[in-house]
Structure 1
Amino acid sequence: MLVESDYLPLADQFFSMYREPGQGGAALAVYQDGEPVVDIWAGWADRDKRWNRNSVAMAFSTGKGVASTVLHRIAERGLIDYDLPVATYWPEFAQAGKADITVRDVLTHRAGLHRAKGLVPGSAGILDYDRVIAALEACPADPRRLRTSGYHAITFGWLVAEIVHRVTGTPFIDVLRTEIADVLGEDEFWYVVPEGRRDRIAKIFPHINPPGIKWGIASSVISLVRPVRGLAEAGMPEGFDKLVRDPRVHESVMPGWNGVFSARALAKMYGALANNGEVDGRTLLKPETIEQIGTRQVAGHYDYVLGYPVSFTLGYHRPVLMAKSQPHKAFGHYGMGGSGAYADPETGMSLAFVTNRLGGSLTALGDLRLARLGATARAITTRQDQ
């Protein structure tokens, strides 16, 4: 474990969260100015197994930020123009009136393809990457995309992955390995988890469906309530509550939600983005690229899926901290259940938190653990700069 002395209050806060098996386990990592300053873990990876240095967790939408970073590596070399239509690289995407949707639209959740529910038949249908891609090609876009964003809770990852695949001619997970894992010297960036590493994945709990209510019923009811209808369409496909625990998830490319990471790997990636693209003598992206991808693209309008305003950048969002002052240039991605990671170029800090305990006592969808840890870390970093 690693804890630089200034970050002892952050470590104390983290360890206090994981004293009982029912609290599950987690890992927390922080980089400052391109150097690791925190790398700690605590709690339980399963009922009879402690979390250890090698434990990893499925971090849900946290993976959207990793997938976006892959695309930006390709774009930086001039192979992708954010403002060209997706169909420039993926001709079949132009079907059903989608010829004018740009790469920027995809990265800012304005492609109008948020619907995962009913996209392909059967609860296991979304495990078939090629089938999903064909379905997205045939789908018309939601016209609300012309007014505001509609969070692509599950479909985002497939859209980004297929753009990368079409541009490079290489399967997305292979590009991920060469563009992120190999560059950073960190192996734990997985959508398809190597078979020999799957025993390292912490078991997630509790069930994500509302207590006492079956998933299908909950999804159907929410689909009928106009203000939250988009949540059911975007994030509640058939059988998803059971699918998140299905081992087949770790054999499928679904970068919108099935990424498995260590906090250490995520913090290093975002550590580079917080430090002008450099970490451990390695270059991930150029400073001008980081400035571009961290600039707010969508803000002030209610997202038609989430029902509240979201500040999207190019493939990321602004982190939210339990503090009066929010970071104005930070960007990253949080995931369902509480995991997340981000870079804060203003302070040179990155933070990553992965956990197998989904949410808190009220809901499994999320809680305030990361927001509180982030506030403490920012306070420490801000004091250092004074």
Structure 2
Amino acid sequence: MSSETTELDMEYMTKTRSSNTNPKSNNDYTERSPLLPIANKYKKIPTSNSKIKFSSYLPQSISWIPESLTNTISNISNMVQSSMKSILNFNYTTIPSRFASQTNSSSKFLKDRHRSLKIFFILHLIFGFMIYRYSHSGPFLPFSCQILNLGCPSVEVTGFTTPEFLGVKKIFEENIKNGLDVGAGVSVYYDNKLVVDLQGGIANLETGKVYDSETLQGVFSCSKTLTGIVIARLVEQGLLNYDEKISKYWPEFAQSGKENVTLLDLVVHRAGVSYIDSHQMTLSDLSDLDSLAKILQSQPHNFNGVSTKAYHGVSRGWYLNEIVRRVDPRHRTIGRIVAEEIAPVYDIEFYYSITKKSLYQRVASIYSYPMVRVLAKFLLPKWMISEPLEPIFDEMMKTDSVTYKTLIGTAPDKSQPQDWNRYEMLNYEGPSYSGVTNSKSMAKLAAIMANDGKPISNSTKGVLEPEILSKNTYDLVMTKLPEAFDVVLQTNITSTIGGFGYFRLKGVEEYEFIGWGGSGGSMLLFNPELKIGFGFCMNAFHTALAGDQRSLRMLREVVDTVKTLKKS
């Protein structure tokens, strides 16, 4: 330690001892601080942009750090800066020849890597663009149209709308143009008048056949609405009673827990026979109705005799058909009664079976929702999807679930919707699912029901159409039952005594619509308050449970237009 430092320390200690008797000012204390001489030995840190050495930040002499260590730090600093300067200013042309090949190889590697990164980046941009285009385009557009906007179909729409309902036509055209539909029809009655009747798109992509007023379409569970009307007419005739046990009409039915099941239970989907698992149903089983009856009556109650709301998606029509055959004086089926008493009288087309090739050639082909998009709906979070999958789809993946057994296991040959493109699939009645019709016929039935079952117009023969149901029967079948959870559909359902459903649909929740929807998106709906009858059918299948953006946007437009007309 230097003598200078020792003297300062001694002076500091002396001043500290005498501070109580002769205090100094703060300034005097600072001037005589023992640290001041050391602080004064530091150079001011340069602020210019000129290059500096690490040693410039060190004091010129630091008595408590060995001089050798100071020199070592300074030397290391100088070496680092010198090395950095050499790297930055290196002239590669001076490399000895023995290293030239290695350097050229490294340079080529860097260039190749740079080129690969550029290609990788460009491919990612292209892939991202393709994903964006695919996810924001309609599921039924050609792939070239979805990705590159090439080969997009032109929109061909025929039919008519009244001026007030042109908004429906605009949405209908958008559905086809944007690839939400392949081919479709929509019809609307308002206040007993046909105000919309449109068809458009393609009925068959393989042949290019257009979807027009002559096109027929399978509407699956929309068939249940007309089936319910047929049962109601038989009740009106005194041939059936909703409160009677089925065994009164079909004694052999009373077995295996089904002894107390009533006709009402069957109509409103709580009869306990939503699925058939005592026998694997095949298409050939439907060709012999007597043999089919034996299969149906031997099926045990699905829930051990306990009344349970479980959508009889496929089986209800088979059971009702057998009951009707037994009570009808001529032993007709539901399809035969429709063909003789309803279709010709009310000037509609509605077939429960297609047995003529001439009719089959008019039926539009069914196109299933693309599997890639179905998988995306399973995997992606709901907030990323415009129409998320309903809980029913999770249940359909479980082979031991009631939903799977009902909707897949009970279908003849476990058929899927596209299997109904085959002629033989349309040959046999299934009054829960086999209806083939068009939107105009659906809308007219809906309009009659919206008009309390009374006729809405004269038939083409100039004869006044009769009531489809009397006032008393209409009021009975429209009686609303308490809401109940359906274990097949995995949602709450409100039914009427006649088996129709009450729905508050997305986008039109302020009004209750009555009727039923079909697999893939078809809708047969009516609203007595607004006097609306709505029919929509299509051949492009979507995944929503009760209507989807195609039909619901049009229905919303219809409701808004009617509300405007009522105000004027």
TM range (shorter): 0.7 to 0.9
Q: Which moved more, 1:171-180 or 1:39-48?
A: 171-180
The alignment partner of 2:343 has SS state of helix
- Structure 1: distance between partners of 2:491 and 2:395: 20
**Which one of the candidate residues 331, 335, 343 is aligned to 2:514?**
331
- Structure 2: distance between partners of 1:26 and 1:66: 21
The CA deviation at 1:126 is: 5.1
The CA deviation at 1:101 is: 1.1
Report the CA distance shift for 1:110/1:145 in structure 2 as closer, same or farther (over 3 A): farther
Tell me if 1:42 matches 2:200: yes
Q: Is the CA contact 1:21–1:43 (under 8 Å) kept in the aligned structure 2?
A: no
Q: Specify every segment of 5 or more residues in structure 1 that has no aligned partner in the other structure, as ranges.
A: 213-217
Question: Mapping of 1:29-178 within 5 angstroms?
Answer: 29-47=187-205, 48-116=208-276, 118=277, 120-121=279-280, 123-125=282-284, 127-128=286-287, 130=289, 131-143=291-303, 146-168=306-328, 169-178=331-340
Q: Is the CA contact 2:184–2:539 (under 8 Å) kept in the aligned structure 1?
A: yes
Corresponding residue number in structure 2 for 1:215: none
Question: Mapping of 1:5-44 within 5 angstroms?
Answer: 5-19=163-177, 23-44=181-202
Q: Is the CA contact 1:337–1:367 (under 8 Å) kept in the aligned structure 2?
A: no
**Which one of the candidate residues 533, 551, 562 is aligned to 1:350?**
533
The CA deviation at 1:16 is: 1.2
Corresponding residue number in structure 2 for 1:270: 446
Amino acid at match of 2:451: N
- Structure 2: distance between partners of 1:270 and 1:145: 35
Report the CA distance shift for 1:17/1:144 in structure 2 as closer, same or farther (over 3 A): farther
Q: Specify every segment of 5 or more residues in structure 2 that has no aligned partner in the other structure, as ranges.
A: 1-158, 376-393, 458-463
The alignment partner of 1:43 has SS state of strand
Name the Cα RMSD after superposition.
2.5
Larger relative contact order (Cα-Cα within 8 Å, sequence gap ≥ 6): 1
Report the CA distance shift for 1:129/1:385 in structure 2 as closer, same or farther (over 3 A): farther
Amino acid at match of 1:232: Y
Question: Mapping of 1:166-315 within 5 angstroms?
Answer: 166-168=326-328, 169-186=331-348, 188-195=349-356, 196-206=358-368, 221-224=397-400, 229-237=401-409, 238-241=413-416, 243-277=419-453, 278-280=455-457, 281-282=464-465, 283-299=467-483, 301-313=484-496, 314-315=498-499
Q: Which moved more, 1:175-184 or 1:151-160?
A: 175-184
Provide TM-score, normalisation by structure 1.
Answer: 0.88
Q: Is the CA contact 2:369–2:542 (under 8 Å) kept in the aligned structure 1?
A: no
Amino acid at match of 2:415: F
- Structure 2: distance between partners of 1:250 and 1:284: 27
Deviations 1:167-194, CA, capped at 9 Å, x for gaps: 11223221111232122122x2111124
Deviations 1:129-188, CA, capped at 9 Å, x for gaps: 5243322211122237745410001011112222222111223221111232122122x2
- Structure 2: distance between partners of 1:372 and 1:134: 45
Report the CA distance shift for 1:341/1:208 in structure 2 as closer, same or farther (over 3 A): farther
The CA deviation at 1:92 is: 2.0
- Structure 2: distance between partners of 1:258 and 1:315: 17
User: Which of the two has higher C-alpha Rg?
Assistant: 2
Count of residues in correspondence between the two structures? 371
Tell me if 1:378 matches 2:536: no
The CA deviation at 1:32 is: 1.7
Q: Is the CA contact 1:86–1:101 (under 8 Å) kept in the aligned structure 2?
A: yes
Overall identity of the aligned pairs, in % = 25
Report the CA distance shift for 1:294/1:206 in structure 2 as closer, same or farther (over 3 A): same
